[in-house]
Structure 1
């Protein structure tokens, strides 16, 4: 049995491409957003707060990205019965709010994108545009 395995990594350039795709969709919708892109370990790679985006949505966009990366699924899929327990256990960093999507490439989760400041549907639409910009798989929430 091998002690290592090859992995795919989301690059800074890839994170910026995802961010750009999401920004373009947010501008098209006319909804200023906070957009966060993290790697597979939940580490920040790229972030923007568009002019007019809600200040506290900075925190929710980060939590959405971390949750989607950690659970390798859209944020809206967590069992609602466990939401509070997970939030406490995760130091307040986990959320079930819509708008967090894992970045899946060739079947591997390489990170996630979290979007906040619009409605849940708008946040998901903007996040999906970020996935499309880098050719990532889209897991429907």
Structure 2
């Protein structure tokens, strides 16, 4: 029985590279965004609210990142029927809103990225740019 195991983790440099790439994509599409990167336990490693992004979207971006990290899947994987109830039950910490993706590298779940302030498609596009910066599985 193993009492200790080795695991991969996202570094601060990786989180910063993701933020830079996500901001670059948001600027490219002309939509200021809130971007949050969390580790596998849901702790924020990096976050930014771009100038012009909706300040309340920072809260939804964090919920998206934590949800993706918790379930190891995109936030829209949460069934539509339970989204309102799960949001209420978790005080808004779990969401089915579009824009949250897991950070998976070589099959290892390292955390989540959450993006908010644009349309769902824009949020996801910006999140995917963040993942691509570190070679995460898309």
Q: With structure 1 as the length reference, what TM-score do the two structures score?
A: 0.95
> Within 2, Cα distance between the matches of 1:6 and 1:18?
24
Classify the secondary structure of the residue corresponding to 1:96: coil
* 1:85, distance to aligned residue in structure 2 (A): 3.0
Q: Deviations over 1:31-54 (max 9, x none)?
A: 000000000011000001001001
Q: Deviations over 1:17-36 (max 9, x none)?
A: 01111010000001000000
Q: Which runs of 5+ in 2 are unaligned?
A: none
Partner of 1:43: 43
Counterparts of residues 98-137 of structure 1 (less than 5 Å): 98-137=98-137
Note the aligned Cα RMSD (angstroms): 0.9
User: What secondary structure sits across from 1:41 in the alignment?
Assistant: coil
Aligned length: 138
TM-score between both structures, scaled by the size of structure 2: 0.97
Give, in whole Å, the separation in 2 of the partners of 1:92 and 1:32.
23
Gaps of 5+ in 1: none
SS at match of 2:20: helix
